[in-house]
Amino acid sequence: MTIYNGMPAAELGGEDWECPWSGPSGGQCLEAKRLDDGRVAVRQSTDPEGPALIFTRGEFQAFISGARDGLADHLVR
């Protein structure tokens, strides 16, 4: 199977998705799944069959580090 950015998340299987981020009202979560090749897939929990964003390990590490350092805080003010 070819894994690509924007592919239907359902094609990645329904198991191993984690919900480390949760919205304030619950049920509005981003879910992530580590792929066999080390990349990370992210999907919206309210649309589990919708598109998945696929990130390299480095891209995802940069995102987490930037969020941890407050670089995206202006997006939610």
What residue numbers bound the domain in which 24 lies?
9-76
Check residue 23 and give its pLDDT.
59
Q: What is the total count of domains within the chain?
A: 1
Separation between Cα atoms, residue 54 and residue 75, nearest integer Å: 21
pTM reported for the whole predicted model: 0.85
Reported in sequence order, the residue ranges of the chain that DSSP labels E, i.e. its strands, are 18-22, 29-34, 40-44, 53-55
Q: What is the pLDDT of residue 26?
A: 62
Task: State how far the Cα of 43 lies from the Cα of 62, in Å rounded to an integer.
Answer: 18
In a domain, 1, yes or no: no
pLDDT per residue over 10-65, tens digit each? 999 999 999 876 656 666 688 999 999 999 999 998 899 999 999 999 999 999 99
Instruction: Tell me whether residue 4 is in a domain.
Output: no
pLDDT for residue 6: 97
Question: What's the pLDDT score for residue 19?
Answer: 86
Q: Token pair of 29, please? A: 């979560």
Distance CA 30, CA 4 (A): 18
